[in-house]
């Protein structure tokens, strides 16, 4: 058993705002524990700057340097490895490399991202920190192929390990499909097909996805279906406006706790989310684990977790007509929906479950010199 100092610079595992990033951080901690390691969150300092404010990035860096000095002097018992999840220019790791060097322990990074266009510009400070941290890593877990090109010349290939984005399917497989209870709770018609979206409402890519979704489903009006929307956030008004043309077909359920989500995935007929700019999207994995087929755009991150024709239907990015046609197809073909749902559940269990992820993490730790 190794002691693991865990850090998530973008969003700590116990952050109050739910997100896929938080869920993956938690899942990695559980996975490390299942591998027999003792995991402790080493720091809760958030290094995220979403606005490109160079002064803010410099202040974050200064706080992180002080935090690194403190941890290097006080961490006890001494960890065997420092493990950082999700390093990129908006959330660099200024702490882990310093502590790892001071304590002479390995440093491991999961989900690195190097966007070389940020070498100059508003995130130059953050880019510098991310590049230095990723280059320092003794082992790197690469979660999607879209991140691999940026690592060339920064991390030797022998130190990289593919880690498929993963989810524990157990809560989604075991949940009882109870449409009647959810229909009564939210005033839904259990006899109509249910389309489901689970996504935070933030400016930028999330709002763009809601706009694409509204434009696509507006082409499917006149058919019997209901759209259940689980999510909330600072762009609530903009996202509501994007879906307003769908009229009473939309049922906004607000943000729900993570433990409540499996029941909605299991009850829905199709998960619909374009996925503009998605790194991969935990909601896609959760929907498929529950046997709910997906309609999405073939964005690079989405194709890493959804298999077109196997676990759902992928359409060209930005093509609202194609998205609408895919929705019509699955609304009109319940047998196809059911077949895709069965295959989706099997696909996630085989390719994106904890077993495959555990093997990848164990291999990365061995490369870093931790474990047999």
Q: Measure CA 174 to chain center.
A: 22
pLDDT band at 146 (very low <50, low <70, confident <90, very high): confident
Both 222 and 138 in one domain: the answer is no
User: Is pLDDT at 372 greater than 80 in this prediction?
Assistant: no
For the segment 333-341, the average pLDDT, to the nearest whole number, is 97
Separation CA 86–CA 364 (nearest Å): 15
Radius of gyration for the alpha carbons in the chain, expressed in angstroms and rounded: 21
Answer yes or no: is 310 within a domain: yes
Task: Write the pLDDT tens digit of every residue in 97-119.
Answer: 999 999 999 999 999 999 888 88
Residues 213 and 281 in one domain: yes
What's the confidence (pLDDT) of residue 16?
86
pLDDT top residue among 18 and 164:
164
Of residues 260, 270, 327, 329, the one with CA closest to residue 294 = 270
90 shares its domain with 183? no
| Average pLDDT of every residue of the chain | 95
Domain count, the chain: 2
Please, what sign has the CA dihedral across residues 22, 123, 148, 201?
positive
Average pLDDT over residues 4-10: 97
Are 184 and 114 in the same domain?
no
Identify the band that residue 145 occupies on the pLDDT scale cut at 50, 70 and 90: confident
205 and 110: one domain? no
62: CATH = 3.40.50.2000
pLDDT of residue 291: 97
pLDDT of residue 112: 96
- Domain assignment of residue 299, yes or no: yes
Which pLDDT value is given to residue 234? 95
Whole-number pLDDT of residue 19: 84
Q: Is residue 140 part of a domain?
A: yes
Residue 208's domain spans which residues? 170-351
Query: What is the pLDDT at residue 308?
Result: 97
Phi, psi of 71 (to 5 degrees): -65, -40
pLDDT band at 176 (very low <50, low <70, confident <90, very high): confident
Strands, sheet with 226-230, edge to edge from the N-terminal-most edge strand: 250-254, 226-230, 194-198, 270-272, 294-297, 312-315
pTM: 0.91
Residues 61 and 138 in one domain: yes
Choose between 153 and 100: higher pLDDT. Answer: 100
Outline where DSSP puts E strands in the chain.
Answer: 3-7, 38-41, 81-87, 107-112, 139-142, 160-162, 194-198, 226-230, 250-254, 270-272, 294-297, 312-315
Q: Is position 372 within any domain?
A: no
Domain assignment present for residue 180? The answer is: yes
- 175 and 270 share a domain? yes
- Residues 57 and 175 reside in one and the same domain: no
pLDDT digits (tens, 9 = 90+) for 29-54: 999 999 999 999 999 999 999 999 99
Which residues have C-beta within 8 Å of that of residue 70, sequence separation ≥ 6?
none
Considering the domain architecture, whether residues 40 and 134 belong to the same structural domain is answered as yes
User: Please, what's the b/e burial string for 335-349 (b: 16 or more CB within 10 A of its CB; e: otherwise)?
Assistant: eebeebbebbbebbb
CA distance 86 to 284: 19
The answer to whether residues 274 and 135 belong to one domain is no
Same domain, 186 and 296: yes
- Are 284 and 189 in the same domain? yes
């Amino acid at each position: 058993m190794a002691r693991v100092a865990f850090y998530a610079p973008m969003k700590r595992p116990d952050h109050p705002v739910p997100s896929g990033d938080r869920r993956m951080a938690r899942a990695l901690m559980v996975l490390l524990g299942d591998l027999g390691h003792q995991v402790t969150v080493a720091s809760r300092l958030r290094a995220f700057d979403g606005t490109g404010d160079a002064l803010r990035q410099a202040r974050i860096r200064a706080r992180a340097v002080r935090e690194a000095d403190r941890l290097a002097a006080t961490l006890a018992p001494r960890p065997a490895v420092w493990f950082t999840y999700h390093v990129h220019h908006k959330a660099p790791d200024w702490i882990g490399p310093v502590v790892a060097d001071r304590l002479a322990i390995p440093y491991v990074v999961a989900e690195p991202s190097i966007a070389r266009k940020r070498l100059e510009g508003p995130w130059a400070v953050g880019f510098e920190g991310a590049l230095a941290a990723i280059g320092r890593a003794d082992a790197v877990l690469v979660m999607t192929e879209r991140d691999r090109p940026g690592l060339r010349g920064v991390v030797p290939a022998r130190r990289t390990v593919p880690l498929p984005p993963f989810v524990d399917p157990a809560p989604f497989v075991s949940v009882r499909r109870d449409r009647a209870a959810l229909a009564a709770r939210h005033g839904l018609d259990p006899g109509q097909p249910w389309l489901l979206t689970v996504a935070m409402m933030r400016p930028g890519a999330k709002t763009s996805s809601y706009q694409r979704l509204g434009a696509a489903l507006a082409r499917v009006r006149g058919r019997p279906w209901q759209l259940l929307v689980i999510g909330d956030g600072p762009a609530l008004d903009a996202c509501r406006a994007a879906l307003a043309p769908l009229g009473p077909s939309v049922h906004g359920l607000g943000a729900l706790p993570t433990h409540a989500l499996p029941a909605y995935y299991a009850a829905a007929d199709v998960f619909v989310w374009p996925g503009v700019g998605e790194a991969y999207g935990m909601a896609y994995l959760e929907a498929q684990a529950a046997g709910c087929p997906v309609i999405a755009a073939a964005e690079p991150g989405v194709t890493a977790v959804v298999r077109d024709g196997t676990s759902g239907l992928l359409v060209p990015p930005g093509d609202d007509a194609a998205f609408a046609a895919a929705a019509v197809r699955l609304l009109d073909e319940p047998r196809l929906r059911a077949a895709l749902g069965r295959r989706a559940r099997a696909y996630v269990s085989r390719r994106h479950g904890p077993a495959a992820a555990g093997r990848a993490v164990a291999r990365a730790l061995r490369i870093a010199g931790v474990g047999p």
